[in-house]
Amino acid sequence: MAFWSSTSVFTSKVPRKILFMFTLSLSVTYLFYSLMSCYNSLQFPLQENYVYQGRLVTEETTFVTLREKLYSTSPQGYLDEELIEVTAAEKAVAISTVKDNVETEQRTLDWVRNQAAPTKTAAVYQSPALERERQEFSTTDNELRVNCTSDYGVKKLPQAIIIGVKKGGTRALLEALRVHPDIRAVGNEPHFFDRNYEKGLDWYRDLMPSTLEGQITMEKTPSYFVTSHAPKRIHTMARDIKLIIVVRNPVTRAISDYTQTLSKKPEIPTFEVLAFKNRTLGLIDASWSALRIGIYALHLETWMQYFPLAQMHFVSGERLIVDPAGEMGKVQDFLGLKRIVTDKHFYFNKTKGFPCLKKPEDSSTPRCLGKSKGRTHPKIDPDVIRRLHKFFKPFNMMFYQMTGQNFEWELEEGSDSRGSQN
């Protein structure tokens, strides 16, 4: 009774209009907070579903589907073995979320059926997960930078480069590596670090093919190995890059180099004339590029000022011919890849004198190197061959010590004058 009496006294003293406005204000405030609470409870699950959808499409669907598109020329068995892996925890989250949200599942299935239409692909790349991934590839001087393209994947600066040597077997190695589904390589030699450096890294990166997550971008330019400023420039771009050097008996390599030049310029002097400053005195002209390239220890010393041997892999040009699968296995190990390119990918071409890649299942022509490879060497005076072997021997021994590998070139003395090929 006391409460009601006090309330009556209060209401009698306060004008009814003010009391009405006060009550209305309280009601509106309560309604506003109620609506906000309801809105938040509805909004959060939708955001979670969007993030989930982006992750599911990105990690499980996109890379699998696009890998099959990019490597449709490869045998299907390789695709089955090299699909992008998703951890067990991520799969569990995906399965659980799909069960909780049928609508999201249906949208994902529709996306798969349409095989990543361009409009939907653009939406996928806007997902928070991919945005974070894109930001992780910063544009600092010493890190690999990426550039999203209209094609599937992104363009990256190379993580591995075949830097040499000329006429050592670099083209054969590159073509064999391109069979691997996790390697994407430039076909032509960019010559960025020796001829086009002033064009900048963006120009260089734009030459690279688009790659998916887990794939390695590569290029090969054999002249890098003998270019004095190339090691520093490559180190500035990516100090952790992997370098592949294909080496060959320097005498045989020099003859092959000369043979290539002779096919373009038949008027040049003979090999014997170019190899000596004074043949009577036995003074070999080490400034001639065909011979200078073969002083591998001299060039390697420059590279070792910037890169440790652990980041270099040396391929024997001779073994690449007689045992291509064996050398390819070592290269794949060095690159951290599964051994997919094996002996079943090669056959020996008796006409050319070196292995060729077997014909792909969906191609009408075999993949063999062109007419510029496998030329017959001119016959060279045996005395010149003997003198060149003697000249290169101390440099070869030094090279063996530096690399920790014995290429056994001294066992080949006398074989270079018998009209070999390559």
- Complete DSSP assignment for 48-98: HHHHHHHHHIIIIIIHHHHHHHHTTTS-HHHHHHSPPP--HHHHHHHHHHH
Confidence of residue 377 (pLDDT cuts 50, 70, 90): confident
- Complete DSSP assignment for 200-213: -HHHHHHHSPEE-T
Question: Do the annotations mark residue 11 as ligand-binding?
Answer: no
pLDDT at 210: 96
Three-state SS string over 354-402 comes to: EEEECCCCCCCCCECCCCCCCCECCCCCHHHHHHHHHHHHHHHHHHHHH
SS percent in the chain: helix, strand, coil, step 5: 55, 10, 35
Q: State how far the Cα of 43 lies from the Cα of 62, in Å rounded to an integer.
A: 27
Per-residue pLDDT tens for 143-180? 333 444 445 799 999 999 999 999 999 999 999 999 99
Residues listed for the chain? 422
Question: Do the annotations mark residue 326 as ligand-binding?
Answer: no
Per-residue pLDDT tens for 55-74? 333 333 444 443 343 333 33
The rounded Cα 168 to chain-centroid distance in angstroms is 22
Over residues 333-353, the mean pLDDT reads 86
Question: Do the annotations mark residue 167 as ligand-binding?
Answer: yes
Verify whether residue 167 is a known catalytic residue.
yes
Q: State how far the Cα of 64 lies from the Cα of 84, in Å rounded to an integer.
A: 6
Over residues 234-241, the mean pLDDT reads 98
Instruction: Name the amino acid, one letter, at 360.
Output: P
Angle (CA) 225 142 303, round 5°: 25
Question: Do the annotations mark residue 387 as ligand-binding?
Answer: no
Per-residue pLDDT tens for 116-129? 344 333 333 334 43
Q: Which two tokens stand for residue 62?
A: 């996109």
Question: Do the annotations mark residue 171 as ligand-binding?
Answer: yes
Confidence of residue 346 (pLDDT cuts 50, 70, 90): confident
Q: Which of residues 131 and 152 earns the better pLDDT score?
A: 152
The CATH code belonging to domain 154-250+293-372 is 3.40.50.300
Res. 365: pLDDT tops 60:
no
Q: State how far the Cα of 1 lies from the Cα of 55, in Å rounded to an integer.
A: 65
From the candidates 155, 156, 166, 167, give the one annotated as an active-site residue: 167
pLDDT at 35: 62
Highest mean pLDDT among 79-88, 280-289, 413-422: 280-289
Q: State how far the Cα of 281 lies from the Cα of 21, in Å rounded to an integer.
A: 117
Residue ranges of domains in the chain = 154-250+293-372
Over residues 269-277, the mean pLDDT reads 96
Question: Do the annotations mark residue 227 as ligand-binding?
Answer: no
Range with lowest mean pLDDT among 35-39, 96-100, 245-249, 334-338: 96-100
